[in-house]
A = this chain, B = another copy of it.
Amino acid sequence: MKRRFDIAEELENGFVIEADTGLKWHRERFRVLYADTDKAGAVYHANYLKYFELGRAGLIRATGKSYKEIEATGMFHPIVDLRVRFENHADYDDQLSVYARPREIEPVKFGYDYIVRNDETRTLIVHGYTVHCCISKRFRVLPADPVTVKIFAEFGVVRAKR
């Protein structure tokens, strides 16, 4: 399980280099709303998936096109699998960052990794992943669209051999 996440270098456009691994990630900052909390006083677990969406959208946009533009070409990226692991709780009004990067790409599936961290305290909050496929409006499974292939190539994540 991942216990640390430190930044070695800040690049342009919200990209950063992770200290331990040398991996590139994209960062989106946000603040925890009252709406995101529950009666235990911390962020309700399901809301981390919205933060993951924020991170994924920022990563895609930062490579040149938005997910909205991908959908405008008639392709959708529904989630087929996701996992979230919780290390620490986050509280109301905390200034958090979600870090996202491509995870792996297969012929008809591709995934993203996420880290949510409190940048002020450097506390790792959650980490997880989502796996997507690429479908047409009529639910036909397609190969990953060119924008997605480009993102994965830029991060050096190549199609897994089977």
Contacts and interface: CB of A to CB of B under 8 A. Distances in A.
A40 interface: yes
A160 interface: no
6 closest Cβ pairs, A-B complex: A46-B49, A37-B39, A68-B93, A83-B83, A35-B50, A39-B41
Interface string A29-65: 0010111011111101111011001100100000000
Contacts of A42: 39, 78
B41 A46 contact: no
A33 B53 CA distance: 8
Contact of A93 (B31, B50, B67, B78): B67
A67 to B, nearest CB: 7
Nearest to A77: B40
A23 interface: no
Interface residues of A, number: 36
A76 B89 CA distance: 13
A86 interface: yes
Nearest to A139: B89
A84 B128 CA distance: 12
Given A83-B83, A92-B39, A33 B46 contact: no
A162 B27 CA distance: 39
B80 A85 contact: yes
